[in-house]
Structures are given as C-alpha cells and as structure tokens.
C-alpha cells in the first residue's frame, strides 16, 4: 500500500514496547495511552482510525465506537475479551480478535503450580524456613493430591491443557461447561453444583462476563467441602470474592490458589491476611516467551486484516467471512 493508503491505528493501552514498534512499522500509529488529553486526541483523529490495538483488560465500549465511525477491527492482547463490548462491535460490523492458543500452555502450567502450592503450602514452607523456624521444629504436614478428584469449570483451550497435565498426576478429572465435549473422556456434569459435589478441587478456567459473574458462590463452595481447594486462573469476576473469603476463613473449604481478582490490582486485605491462600498478581501468561507471542499475534491480526486476508483469530461474537 502507498503511504496515503496506510491505515491509521490507535493504540489504546501499551502492551509491550515491541508491539508498538511493530505497529509503527506497518501502520500510521496513534497512541492514547500517553495522551495528556484523550478526548482531544479522539476528536482530532477519531474519524481516521480504522483499527484499534488494545492492551489486556482495557475497557472498550459503545461510546468509544461512536467516536471512531470508520473503525473496522479491534485487535486485543489476551485470550479474555470480557472488557470489550463485543455486542456493540458486532452491531457496527466491527471484528474483534484476541490471542488464544499462544498462551494456553503457559497459563495451564501456572494453574498446576498454583494447585501444588496451595495443596502442599509451598509459599508457607518457604516463609517458615526463611524465618528460621525449621531450626526449632519441622514444618507441619500438609494435604496431598493423592486420591483427589479435580473438577474444571470451563473446558476450553486452557481447560483442556490443564486436564492434559493433570492426567500425569493420576487424579480423577471431571468438568462442567455449557455443553459436553465429545472429544474427551472426562466425566461431564451438567451443573456447577453437581461438579462441586463430585470433586474436592475446583479449577476455574471459564471466561469472564455477565454470564459467569459470581457463579462460584457460597453454595458451590459449600458443596466442594472442607477438603476443597479452589484455583482460579480465569477471571476474578467468576468467583464471589466475599463468599470465598468467608469460606476460607470459616474452614468451609481448605485453601485457594488465585492469580486473578475481582477488582485488580486491588486485592482485599481480608484475603491477603489468610494463611490458607496462595496469591499471584495475574501472571498466568507472564513470561517473556508467551507475551512476545501474544504481541506478535495482536499485530498479525491487524496486518492480515488490512492486507485483505481477514482476521486470524476473531472472537465468535463477531464472526467474519470473505463474503462479508
């Protein structure tokens, strides 16, 4: 394309420096993340913008779409896109893309790490040694993965990667989702309560959004039982955080390993104070290798679109076909 045909792209929130560099090399790049007056920027360049590059967990709503009348595509950094109003995008004919697959293994690895850390109290043991307590007494015995049954809420790409890893631990595996998956042999439960009653570990791998908000509630936690362990690497909104804190405090469940929270980066003091938790600052995909791959896919979606080849990884709510 000639310089006059170069599409204008708006970077809403910085993801990685290499992403901005790759975008600037292929497009006429504008940045909203470091603009002193965002409203003035949108007024000045809004009608020229044809693509959005969106950082993780960045709210994108209908009001923004109204400021960008010629927007064609939103390319988002991350597999989750619950902060993007995909319904408003679909009504305007805007395609939304995300970065699935390239982070599934990394997040699944971390889910298993959180599970082991919560069951065997690995961070607590580390603190015990560093404080010099081992010289006086052995660290208390912990729970075990032996003879446990693990339930996965959401058997999508990441859920299946978690299940594959769990097979090596010799645990029973079951799952709940909107529909059973014919390609797997794990036990399917048609209700979340039923899954919680059947297992004593619940790994949350379901997408965020209104449909899943707070579905892991007090009743589900009670069904999981006093030996129950919750691991969440999905979205903090999927779990009723107040109910989880009370369940951990009261011994309704045994422990939790959490990488995500309801109001990130704000984590309740009551959750931090609990000794039966392992808490991480949303680092599921946080390796150099995986974040580089995510940034490359974000850029490649935009390049493919504007070269006329369509999006590489559109979300299902904004389907695309060559006929369109």
DSSP assignment string, 78-107: SS--TTB-HHHHHHTT-EEE---STTHHHH
Task: Say if strands 149-153 and 187-188 run parallel, antiparallel, or are unpaired.
Answer: unpaired
Q: What angle do CA 149, 151, 152 make, to 5 degrees?
A: 150
User: Of the listed 26, 48, 282, 296, which one is catalytic?
Assistant: 282
Is 289 annotated in the active site?
no
Is 275 annotated in the active site?
no
d(CA 58, CA 64): 12
- Residue 275's nearest CA partner among 124, 114, 144, 130 is 124
User: Of the listed 264, 275, 307, 317, which one is catalytic?
Assistant: 264
Is 30 annotated in the active site?
no
Long-range contacts of 159-164 (CB under 8 A, 24+ apart): 159/203, 159/205, 159/206, 160/184, 161/104, 161/105, 161/107, 161/108, 162/108, 162/111, 162/112, 162/203, 162/205, 164/108
User: Of the listed 235, 241, 254, 291, which one is catalytic?
Assistant: 235
Active site residues: 235, 264, 282
């Amino acid at each position: 394309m000639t310089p006059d045909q170069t599409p204008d792209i708006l970077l809403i929130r910085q993801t990685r420096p290499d992403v901005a560099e790759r975008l600037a090399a292929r497009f006429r790049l504008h940045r909203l993340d470091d603009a002193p007056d965002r409203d003035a920027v949108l007024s000045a360049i809004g009608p020229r913008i044809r693509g959005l590059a969106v950082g993780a967990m960045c709210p994108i709503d209908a009001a923004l779409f109204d400021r960008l009348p010629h927007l064609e595509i939103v390319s988002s950094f991350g597999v989750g896109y619950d902060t993007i109003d995909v319904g408003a995008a679909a009504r305007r004919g805007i395609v939304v893309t995300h970065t699935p697959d390239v982070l599934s293994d990394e997040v699944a690895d971390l889910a298993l790490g959180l599970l082991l850390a919560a069951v065997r109290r690995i961070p607590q043991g580390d603190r015990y040694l560093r404080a010099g307590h081992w010289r006086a007494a052995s660290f208390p015995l912990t729970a075990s993965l032996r003879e446990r049954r693990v339930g996965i809420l959401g058997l999508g790409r990441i859920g299946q990667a978690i299940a594959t890893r769990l097979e090596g631990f010799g645990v029973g595996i079951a799952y709940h989702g909107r529909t059973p998956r014919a390609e797997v042999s794990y036990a399917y439960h048609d209700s979340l309560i039923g899954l919680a009653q059947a297992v004593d570990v619940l790994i949350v791998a379901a997408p965020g959004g209104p449909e899943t908000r707070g579905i892991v509630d007090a009743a589900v936690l009670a069904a999981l039982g006093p030996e129950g362990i919750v691991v969440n690497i999905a979205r903090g909104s999927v779990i009723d955080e107040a109910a989880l804190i009370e369940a951990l405090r009261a011994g309704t469940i045994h422990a939790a390993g959490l990488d995500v929270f309801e109001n990130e980066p704000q984590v309740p003091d009551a959750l931090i104070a609990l000794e039966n938790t392992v808490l991480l600052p949303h680092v599921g995909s946080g390796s150099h290798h995986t974040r580089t791959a995510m940034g490359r896919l974000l850029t490649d979606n935009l390049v493919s679109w504007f070269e006329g080849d369509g999006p590489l990884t559109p979300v299902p709510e904004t389907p695309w076909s060559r006929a369109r």
